Amino acid sequence: MKAIYILILVFSVSVINAQFLPNYMTKQERAYMPNYVRNISATGITIPPASKVRSVAEWEEMQAIVISWVNYEAQLTEIVRAAVEECDVYILTDNQSGTQSYLQNHGVNTTNVHYINYSTNSVWIRDYGVNNIYTNDVDSLLFLDWIYNRPRPDDDASASPIADAFNIPLYETTQAPTDLVNTGGNYFTDGFGTAFGEELILSENEAGNDYNVTAKTEADIDTIMKHFMGINRFIKFPVLPYDGIHHIDMHMKMLDEETILCAEYPTGVADGPQIEDNLQNVLAPENSVFGDSYRVVRIPSPPDLNGDYPANGWNGGYYYTYTNSLIINKTVIVPTYYEEYDTTALRIYQEAMPGYNIVGVDCDDNSGPIFASGAIHCITHEIATTDPLLISHQRLRDTDNIYTNYEVKAKIMHRSGISSATLYYKTNLAASYQSVSMSFTNTLLNEWTGYIPVQQSGTKVYYYIEANAVSGKTQVRPMPAPAGYWMFRVNNTTDIADSNNLNINIFCTENSLRILSDKQFNSYIVITDMLGKQVYNDRADIVKGENLIQLNSFNLNKGVYLISLNYNNSYITNKFVIR
């Protein structure tokens, strides 16, 4: 949006054109706020999109990131160095040649770097940049711009040149009664209608707010988010006492539809008690889009270099954070501080997101952004692809199932339609993946289903999904696959021959299975082909001695099959061949 700002109390030039501004509001800015009146001449669309919209999650495919070249050049350079391997990088700058020379002099490949001739007030583009939304889940890309919660006119107006650079329609919440103040650091979404933030958004839009916007109740805010961004559930956490800016990205991040990375402090220290209270009383009663509880991954927050944690407002240690990271396709850029804690943090990211390229960028180099209450996420903003192929899957949990194949379901969508989907799996990281075709099983949910063959206890199963659109586009999930994967364990159970003193043998004849047992027991018999397709699953009363199971009615083709029987919560699995 382009805006005209009337300042009843005239700002000094140094305030309006200030370049070294922290992520928080300075005392001088706070003093000016009561007199900072916005008369906005919108260049974007101020009514909600006519089509159903879906806000884009940060782990989806991105075509670019946008940064503002204002201070912290060392950190911005390393972000660009990592990001150009994944996507384009757009830089807001009023000195293209100087910015380009700086990057090239530091060995950065600038082939995928583009420049937007625009001067911002500050570097904190996460808070004032555009938000990604799609019409009809995977159709057209739109941008959405809120009113920035800082008296920084050039920052607030930057959405328009960004939208122009990408030629994407811009929607705005800038006109009453939908004039909404919000900040990107206090927002993230699961990509399916749920958003998270701190209650800061309530106070910034309530009656008597500092921004001269229409007073709004929580229900009013939720309605605006629903109509403009497709958010049907907005989970808001009580603000943390020692995070002075109250931005959720300083202590929490979503890694996928059901996994939340959360900062952890020593017992009773800093914001630890409030974070734990928020997890127990706000998050725990909520379910993910898949209907189950959220998975929470803890990541320890370090003290600053003086050994201090945040305390007593701004008088304690600096607010060091590892959750303030950027996911950009197959790479995750993580703020780092010093090795003692960095090693643990980077390991936690790698374990939570196997196959991703985890890149650390020092944010504590005596003049890093962390001293201004921000890190990597705060100074970057992603731009979604214009051609999304959506794959959403609830990863399989560890299981005791050693009798039936493992069902894998995924929502898969592309505006041209999906021509095929394939499930890949293996049980040894050094081995090659085996493939299983998935079937389109639910048109209403856009759901595809495949089966991983049943495995013996003690097995680890690694798998991923690939989909092909009618247009020819291909996508995988997790995005770094095949290097990236989901994994589940088939838990150990004791072999029947040991735990139950059972002796059993299985033989295959031309048209039957011959099972010899020294005990009588009731069992399930499951037969699958080597692609994981289940061809038989039924109860069987195994008698002591010889048992015959006729195969003629199964119409089995020639090939290798697996048969599994269960006995007293144990199992036996054998291969047999139809010749």
Give me 148's structure tokens.
Answer: 């920035």
pLDDT digits (tens, 9 = 90+) for 6-63: 333 334 333 444 458 999 999 888 888 877 756 556 789 999 999 999 999 999 999 9
Using alpha carbons, select from 288, 265, 277 the residue that is nearest to residue 196: 288
CATH number, domain of 421, equals 2.60.40.10
Domain co-membership, 208 together with 249: yes
Domain end call among 489, 514, 541: 489
Give me 400's structure tokens.
Answer: 């005791």
Given pLDDT bands bounded at 50, 70 and 90, which one contains residue 514? confident
Domain co-membership, 341 together with 212: yes
Domain end call among 445, 468, 489: 489
Average pLDDT over residues 253-280: 95
Q: How far is CA 88 from CA 62, 101, 377, in A?
A: 9, 18, 17
Domain co-membership, 368 together with 405: no
Instruction: Please determine, for residue 4, whether its predicted confidence score (pLDDT) is greater than 90.
Output: no
Tally the C-alpha atoms within 13 A of residue 138's C-alpha that lie toward its C-beta.
Answer: 18
Place of tokens 């962390």: 370
335 close to 299: Cβ distance less than 8 angstroms: no
Domain co-membership, 120 together with 259: yes
Domain co-membership, 473 together with 533: no
- What 505-510 contacts at long range (C-beta under 8 Å, 24+ apart), as own/partner pairs, is 506/563, 506/565, 506/572, 506/574, 506/576, 507/576, 508/576, 508/577, 508/578, 510/579
Domain co-membership, 332 together with 378: yes
Largest CA-CA distance found in the chain, in angstroms, rounded: 97
Tally the C-alpha atoms within 13 A of residue 136's C-alpha that lie toward its C-beta.
Answer: 11
Domain co-membership, 375 together with 433: no
Instruction: Please determine, for residue 563, whether its predicted confidence score (pLDDT) is greater than 70.
Output: yes
Domain co-membership, 377 together with 395: no
Which residue range is the domain that position 257 belongs to? 4-384
| Predicted local distance difference test score (pLDDT) of residue 560 | 74
Domain end call among 384, 401, 422: 384
Domain co-membership, 470 together with 430: yes
Domain co-membership, 343 together with 453: no
Domain co-membership, 448 together with 505: no
pLDDT digits (tens, 9 = 90+) for 335-364: 999 999 999 999 999 999 999 999 999 998
| Predicted local distance difference test score (pLDDT) of residue 502 | 73
CATH number, domain of 528, equals 2.60.40.3080
Which of 135-149, 392-406, 415-429, 508-522 has the lowest average pLDDT? Answer: 508-522
Instruction: Please determine, for residue 492, whether its predicted confidence score (pLDDT) is greater than 70.
Output: no
Which helix (H) or strand (E) covers residue 142, if one does? strand 141-145
Domain co-membership, 505 together with 550: yes
| Predicted local distance difference test score (pLDDT) of residue 181 | 96
Average pLDDT, the chain: 89
| Predicted local distance difference test score (pLDDT) of residue 500 | 54
Count Cβ atoms within 10 A of the Cβ of residue 339 and give its class: 0-12 exposed, 13-18 middle, 19 or more buried.
exposed
pLDDT digits (tens, 9 = 90+) for 380-429: 999 999 999 999 999 999 988 887 899 999 999 999 999 999 999 999 99
Average pLDDT over residues 479-492: 93
| Predicted local distance difference test score (pLDDT) of residue 12 | 38
Quote the CA–CA distance of 412 and 439 in Å, as a whole number.
11
The count of structural domains within the chain is: 3
CATH number, domain of 228, equals 3.75.10.10
CA dihedral 404→434→352→333, nearest 10 degrees, is -160
